[in-house]
Structure 1
Amino acid sequence: MTKQPFVTKQQLQKAKRAKIVAATLIFLIITVFFISLNTGYIRLAPGEVMAALIGQGTAQQTLILFDFRLPRMIIALFVGMGLAISGTILQGIVRNPLADPGIIGINAGASLTVMLFVSFFSAASTVSILLMPILAFGGAAGAAVVIYLLSYKRAQGASPMRIVITGVAVAAGINALMIVLTLKLNPENYQFLATWLAGSIWGANWQFVLAILPWLVLLLPYVYAKSLTLNILHLGEETSIGLGTNLERERRVLFGAAVALAAASVSVSGGIGFVGLVAPHLTRRLVGEKHEYVIPIAGLTGALLLLTADMIGRMIKQPEIPAGIIVAVIGAPYFLYLLAKIKD
């Protein structure tokens, strides 16, 4: 007979708390989702939304709902989830609360390659749309390699603090390069890219949903399966090595997963920052440090945060305020709060 693992009362309480938090977040996501269906330049009453959902709406209502709002909102959910889990991984492997794919330069590398592609090639065809996450991953991976190499020291590996500091410097350099490049564009492309870099969810059709979906389907289960590894890495380098963890290999693999998630998200959403910073922190305050809880709940938190930001941006002004700006209004003060807390 196989013995059942011993579970303490505290562990049962944490698991119960995680389930309650997850159920609450799912309820809030569903609520915001249905409110968002009625938000935009053309208002749809709740009855009209329900009629369109069951196939009884007018042609205009069906067009607005299924061709514009639903794909956009699903992308907001996917991108929020991807960025939040990417930030969770980065904070886990570098053990720094300021780690975020936007802050340490991963999003900037992805943005650069997508910006170059959109500037010189058409992004309207299905092949181009499906290619964009791959191009974004190439740019993000390039930035990640530069960050890792500049942070690496023989016999010491890549120090977590050096990764963050180097990433901030690389992000600043790439952002400066993008500003120079945008100044050389024609007015039409400049306007589009300025809005995109501000964090507008511009891929508002089902082809963009299909472009990001395979990345999430492949990477999210893999990352969740690495929860135990992230728990061990969180204990520190000496403890991780003492427990038999191949520290550098695990860091590289998980770093690659974080880069891929961030790149796929950026390719369909633009330069949205702070989701990967705020969502993991809020999650840890709710459910603790165990990554088997933090990863899925951070994903739900990020999805709710970005979906709400996109809804607010479409609600308070027409033409809309990019979701990235709404998130930055929330994330920037939180970033300063974290800096003050670390200093103390």
Structure 2
Amino acid sequence: MIHPSILRKQRIILGITTTFILFTIIIGMGLGQASLSYDRLLPTLLGQGTFKEEFVLFSLRLPRIVITLLAGMALALSGAILQSITRNNLADPGIIGINAGAGAAIALFFLYFPIDSSSFIYMLPAVAFIGALLTATLIYLFAYNKQTGIQPVHLVLIGVGFSMALSGIMIVLISSAERAKVDFIAKWLTGNVWGADWPFILAILPWLLLFIPFTLYKANRLNILNLSEPIAVGVGISIQKERIMLLVAAVALAASAVSVTGGIAFIGLMGPHIAKALVGSRHQLFIPVAVLFGGWLLLLADTIGRNLAEPDGIAAGIIVAFIGAPYFVYLLLKNET
């Protein structure tokens, strides 16, 4: 049973994080190359704006805001699942190579397969999922030891190795490709939110609607899996079955996000860690906080990045890396001591 004071604290933090999200959305709707006065936001949202105001808000700003928010949520939830099933506080879909696997699959598909514009949006998440799942499976197999299970630092090192190898493969693939396709892959690698249109929401939203309830339903099992294998076996949990199901969920969430936002790392690392620090390590408590916090982090990074430099801004993945990389080093050193 969760103490009422902890539940009250969680609700307060959820309310504060939601406020941060709404405040960042309002700021983001007004900022950009085409300025939109804040006193015109509400009339424009209600359909009383000029053609220019409605075009800027509904065709340029809002789709990108919604997609970035959903992608951050998906990455944070993916990271929370990965950290629990591997008992590794350093696990993140970007750090351990899952995003790179999705990127390599997308690069192969984009460069060498005929693309139908009507189905391209919906094919990308499927292609990214196949590449990410194959990579995650290989990393897990290489890192798993029958005697010791998954060693946290070992898993990270193998994941980083896979990530570097797959990044090298992508460079080789694009070295002989045409310029337009090379530009797309290069932007994807830096974490540039390219899928900023309403249809791309369908690449992410269904996975969140499916896996947020699924993960909360599995919260008690994640709590046990996060302790140790003997305890999980002792209470009758089929470890391999649960891990496989949850790994597929984590991979699907990460793949759907990066298929439209590019190779963004560290959101899946920071979101769960900050949530655990605020409300504790019980999954029922920290997962909702991590999901909201991950969405806000990526939304904030993209809002800052697209307004920081003219004309195209700075990729959200680069802004996130400025914060996430030092945090990752801190956690790595902390886990070694």
Does the Cα contact within 8 Å between 1:122 and 1:128 map onto a contact in 2? no
What is the match of residue 85 of structure 1?
A: 77
Say if 2:107 and 2:173, in contact at 8 Å, map to a contact too: no
Aligned partners of 1:126 and 1:207 also within 8 Å: no
CA apart distance, 1:191: 1.9
> Structure 1 CA distance, aligned partners of 2:301 and 2:115?
25
CA distance in 2, matches of 1:152, 1:168: 16
Which amino acid is the alignment partner of residue 334 of structure 1? Answer: Y
Structure 1 residue 326 corresponds to structure 2 residue 319: yes
Post-superposition CA distance 1:150-169 (Å, at most 9, x none): 2344x548524344332222
Residue type at the aligned position of 1:323: A
- Structure 2 SS opposite 1:202: coil
Which of 191, 199, 202 pairs up with 1:210?
A: 202
CA contact (8 A) 2:272 2:286 kept: yes
1:135 is aligned to 2:127: yes
| Higher mean displacement: 166-175 or 320-329 | 166-175
- Equivalent AA in structure 2 for residue 37 of structure 1: M
Structure 1 residue corresponding to 2:275, chosen from 272, 283, 291: 283
* Residues 157-213 of structure 1 deviation map (CA, whole Å, 9 limit, x = unaligned): 852434433222211211111122222222222222211210011001111012222
- Tell me the number of residue pairs that the alignment of Structure 1 and Structure 2 aligns: 335
Give CA deviations for 1:301-336 in whole Å, capped at 9, x if unaligned. Answer: 000000000000112112210100000001001011
Partner of 1:264: 256
- After TM superposition, the runs of 4+ consecutive aligned structure 1 residues lying more than 3 A away are 120-124, 155-158, 160-165
Equivalent position to 1:159, from 136, 150, 153: 150
Secondary structure at the counterpart of residue 310 of structure 1: helix
User: Which 5+ residue runs of structure 2 have no aligned equivalent?
Assistant: none
Paired residue secondary structure (1:339): helix
Pairwise CA distance, 1:50: 1.7
- Corresponding position of 2:238: 246
Shift of 1:257: 0.7
Alignment RMSD: 1.6
SS at match of 2:323: helix
- Cα pair 1:123 1:129 within 8 Å, conserved: no
Distance in 2 of aligned mates of 1:105 and 1:163: 10
Greater shift in the superposed pair: 73-82 or 210-219: 210-219
Check whether the contact 1:102–1:273 (CA below 8 A) recurs between aligned residues. yes
Offset, 1:294: 1.3
The DSSP-based 3-state class of the residue aligned with 2:300 is: helix
1:301 pairs with 2:282: no
Aligned amino acid, residue 340 of structure 1: L
Q: Relative to structure 1, is the Cα distance of residues 122 and 42 closer, same or farther in structure 2, using a 3 angstrom cutoff?
A: farther
Offset at 1:126? 3.3
| Separation (CA, whole Å) in 2 of partners of 1:216 and 1:196 | 22
SS at match of 1:126: coil
**Closer, same or farther: CA 140–47 of 1 in aligned 2, 3 Å:** same
Mapped partners of 2:117, 2:51: distance in 1: 25
**TM-score, length-normalised on structure 2?**
0.95
> In the aligned structure 2, how far is the partner of 1:157 from the partner of 1:255?
19
Separation in 1, partners of 2:46, 2:272: 36
TM-score (norm 1): 0.93
1:37/1:69 contact within 8 Å kept:
yes
Show the counterpart of 1:50: 42
Q: Cα deviations across residues 123-147 of structure 1 (Å, max 9, x unaligned)?
A: 6723110111011100101111212
Q: Which residue does 1:4 correspond to in 2? A: none
Offset at residue 343 of structure 1 (A): 2.5
Q: 2:332 aligns with which of 312, 336, 339?
A: 339
Q: Deviations over 1:255-277 (max 9, x none)?
A: 11101100111111100011001
Contact 1:136 1:264 in 2 (8 A): yes
CA offsets 1:40-94 (integer angstroms, 9 cap, x no match): 1111011222221111111111111111111111000110000001000011111
Does the 8 Å contact 2:195/2:261 carry over to 1? yes
